[in-house]
Amino acid sequence: MNEFNPVTPDDYKLQRTVALDAKALEAEKRRLYIEDMMYNSPVTSGDGVNFGKEDQQLGRPLSPHQLESKLSKICHNLHFITHPNNPTKKVVYHLKPDGKKEFICAYENRYMPEHSVMRVIVHEYPDPDFIATGKAIERSELPAYEKVEDVTSPFGYGYEFDPKARRPGMLYIEKGHGEETRGWRTVLLRLIQHNLITVDAAEREFSTDNRAEWAKSTGKRKDAPTVW
């Protein structure tokens, strides 16, 4: 006769801790992936596309039809639809043997680049080294500005600075903020990580990629963990 072993509060606490640790690890993997993509991929910061430091090309573009046709050759259980809430996107599902659909990922419903274009947000912080020196800011160091009427000023005017200009005494740090445009290589990685296609099949149909993050994400480089 099997004895009933209730879950104790300590057991529940341990299970919750393990789950939170796993969630934190996944978040860290995503952060590392974004940083890696920022370094090697084109990025946009609001002023158009800024190309990555190592790769100055968007790669080989594909239409949704071209991507889907190639994927169907190496995996017959995929289903593609236009996103029901966003017609600018499409969605790929895995049709499981029991008839259920497993969501894999969304992608662009237009020509998409080979490599994802990452969104970058610039954060502004006071420069502690500049503050420590106590140095006064010279007029020549100020960014471009113009004199404008200001009824709230006792002088009746004020100065309006170029909002895109960087101010002296401040640090500007770019941080990744996810994908601006998803590249079709990311779709391949999602399918590989769901064990729906192999790396060899993907490279045979789509060609290989000599960039560092592809090697890491597909496990071809053992000196760094596979991410996302």
Q: Consecutive sets of 10 residues in the chain, 228 residues long: mean pLDDT of each?
A: 54 66 65 51 46 54 94 95 93 93 94 84 77 74 75 80 74 73 92 93 90 78 44
**pLDDT score, position 201:** 94
Tokens of 75: 């995996």
Total structural domains within the chain: 2
Do residues 138 and 67 share a domain? Answer: no
3-state secondary structure of 105: strand
Give the β-pairing of 43-44 and 49-50.
Answer: antiparallel
What is the per-residue pLDDT for 154? Answer: 82
Query: Hey, which residues does 147 pair with through a beta bridge?
Result: 159
Q: Do 34 and 82 have their domain in common?
A: yes
pLDDT at 165: 75
Distance CA 172, CA 178 (A): 19
Residues 65 and 150 in one domain: no
67 assigned to some structural domain: yes
On whether both 14 and 107 belong to a single domain, the answer is yes
- Domain of residue 145 covers 128-168
pLDDT of 52: 46
Q: How many CA atoms lie within 13 Å of 138's alpha carbon, on the beta-carbon side?
A: 2
Cα dist. 165→142, 161, 168 in Å?
9, 8, 10
pLDDT at 31: 55
Q: Considering the domain boundaries, does residue 226 fall inside one?
A: no
* Beta-carbon count within 10 A of 192 CB: 18
What does the pLDDT read at residue 104?
94
